[in-house]
Amino acid sequence: MDMIRVNDSSCIRCGRCVKVCPSQIFVQEKAGGDVTLHKPENCIVCGHCVAACPTGSVEHAEFPAGRVHAADYAAMPTPEQVELLLAVRRSNRALTTRPVPQEMLDRIIAAADRAPTASNARQLGYTLVTDPAQLRAIAEYTLGVFGKLEKRLLHPLVKPWLSRIVPGVYRYVPVFKRLRREYAEGRDRILRGATAVLFIHAPKANRFGAEDANLAYQNASLMAEALGVSQIYMGFVLTALRQDKQEKLAGMLGLDDRRICAVMALGMPQFRYPNYIDRAPAEVTRK
């Protein structure tokens, strides 16, 4: 069959497909008129047309009947339930040694992959690390980059002018020292004892890789919270990646042609927070 076709016998000519298609493939000359196709080769395979059609009249090769499901809005969480999930979500660094069950990891990644991407490019990839030796290598890589950065910052020819230009950067020097010292003493303040680390990456040429990855991260984070899995944003690892231009760690993970855009540590918590805290109201400018 053609990639896209409209079944005229069941189409009720409501025009929904016309209104939602971002590529303007569906055309309806007047309200209630026939729906025709214009340059269907421009389809970005977003599925909006199939999802919007109330009679199943839009037939798409990429979305056969088995992949299309009726939406039960009565089963959706209430706004109050969504607000509660958002309110209780926070990083929990008190982790157990129990691995995150594989089925939970799979659901977290599947949630991430449901996030929208620019132009529906869907070029994100996911690398899940659960091997203890590789997890240690990630922490040690991060600490190694921080050690090199500390030496550069403290170089006698660099410090006098950099401390004037970017004075705030020197507050991290004692942090780098403490992280290395505590790791040597058996306390990993990088991964915090996480039993899994999820890397979200995109092709280096993808201009919206970081934006797409952070949308995916938020989906994964909310699913982890719903499953009772602790998730921690790996800012230290991302900082090390930027300083190292991602070369060593990307090579270790087999991602030489990719750009790592987001990193999440996952683990089973010792406890869940019994309280949530109201934040100060957001500052909103209304015009």
Domain count, the chain: 2
Mean pLDDT of 254-266: 95
- The answer as to whether 114 is a domain residue is yes
The answer to whether the beta carbons of residues 132 and 97 sit under 8 Å apart is no
Instruction: Please say if the pLDDT value at position 152 is more than 90.
Output: no
Please state the pTM of the whole predicted model.
0.92
Could you give the dihedral angle defined by the CA atoms of residues 199, 203, 206 and 210, in that order, rounded to the nearest 10 degrees?
10
The answer on 42 and 131 residing in a single domain is: no
Mean pLDDT of 123-152: 95
In 3-state terms, what secondary structure has residue 157?
A: coil
The answer on 211 and 142 residing in a single domain is: yes
- The answer as to whether 84 is a domain residue is no
In the prediction, which pLDDT does 162 show?
72
Inter-CA distances, 257 with 138, 204, 206, 219, 250, Å: 19, 7, 11, 25, 8
Query: The domain spanning residue 181 has which CATH number?
Result: 3.40.109.10
The answer on 129 and 29 residing in a single domain is: no
The answer on 57 and 109 residing in a single domain is: no
Mean pLDDT of 71-97: 96
Query: The domain spanning residue 58 has which CATH number?
Result: 3.30.70.20
Full residue range of the structural domain in which residue 205 is found: 92-272
The answer on 162 and 52 residing in a single domain is: no
Mean residue pLDDT across the chain: 94
Report pLDDT digits (tens) over 164-214.
777 777 888 888 999 999 999 999 999 999 999 999 999 999 999 999 999
Residue 1 binned pLDDT confidence (cut-offs 50, 70, 90): low
The answer on 62 and 96 residing in a single domain is: no
The answer on 195 and 61 residing in a single domain is: no
CA atoms of 239 and 144, how far apart (whole Å): 12
The answer on 117 and 213 residing in a single domain is: yes
Task: Count CB-CB contacts under 10 A for residue 284.
Answer: 5
CA atoms within 13 A on the CB side of 49: 32
In the prediction, which pLDDT does 74 show?
96
In the prediction, which pLDDT does 172 show?
83
